[in-house]
Amino acid sequence: MPVRYNQTVNNRQLSPIDRLLSGANDALRTVAAPAGRPARDNPAESIAETELSATQKSHAAGLMRVNHAGEVAAQALYRGHATVARNEAIEQQMQHAAAEEFDHLAWCEQRIRELGEEPSRLSPIWYAGAYAIGAASGILGDKWSLGFIAETERQVCAHLDSHLDGLPAEDTRSRVIVEKMRDEEAEHGESAVAAGAAELPDTVKKLMQITAKVMTRTAYWV
């Protein structure tokens, strides 16, 4: 029976070396292809494949590769935040979100392969960069860490809405995955706000947008 990925380990019960190994395991599981099996079924599972032209397929694969890269970064951000979270409830909330993000990651990867392409070859770079940003903002304190998550999820929702505009109307399988992801990203953002997220300065928000743009423009192609 295939192993389904589910984060049930409480990091606080682990020794420092076990934490390090657990973190390395999360990183490898995220950037390795194929990713492990998702904990929840792919929302596109019961939807029939539709006929797409070669151009539509390649465009949809590019957009789903961008989404997959975003999910690699989301894994790293949440794991990075959780590693340095001061409050146990917040750490658990972040691990829960990371588990949902892992499903998004696996669903995107499945869709990219169905479209005949591969995930971004730069996944280790997306992971390392986002992990560092997650841990660095977490070190400033939980309210900033939550603020960073709330703003990230806001930007991700806007980005996914733009992909729903850009994906071929016929590509129902990609669309239902993106819709499900967008709903859950909104919930992650709302949970972060409810847990006490601080509002980030405008310059930081702008910087986050620029960083995301570099990643999304690159991952569309490689």
Which residues of the shown chain bind Fe ion in the complex (CB under 5 A)? Answer: 74, 101, 104, 185, 188
* 88 versus 187: smaller Cβ distance to Fe ion: 187
Q: How many helices (H) and strands (E) does the chain have?
A: 7, 0
Contact between 43 and 107 under an 8 Å Cβ cutoff? The reply is yes
User: Beta-carbon neighbour count of residue 222 at 10 Å?
Assistant: 10
At closest approach, how far in Å is the CB of 13 from Fe ion? 25
The CB-of-35 to Fe ion minimum distance in angstroms stands at 13
Asked if residue 97 lies in contact with residue 45, where contact means CB atoms within 8 angstroms, the answer is no
By beta-carbon proximity to Fe ion, the closer residue of 52 and 98 is 98
Nearest to Fe ion of 23, 38 (CB atom): 38
- Report yes or no: 167 and 111 within 8 Å, Cβ to Cβ: no
DSSP code of residue 116: T
Rounded Cα gap, residues 33 and 36, in angstroms:
8
Least separation in angstroms between residue 130's CB and Fe ion is: 12
Closest CB 97 distance from Fe ion, rounded Å? 6
Residue labelled with tokens 């977490």:
138
Instruction: Report the residue number, 74 or 200, with the smaller CB distance to Fe ion.
Output: 74
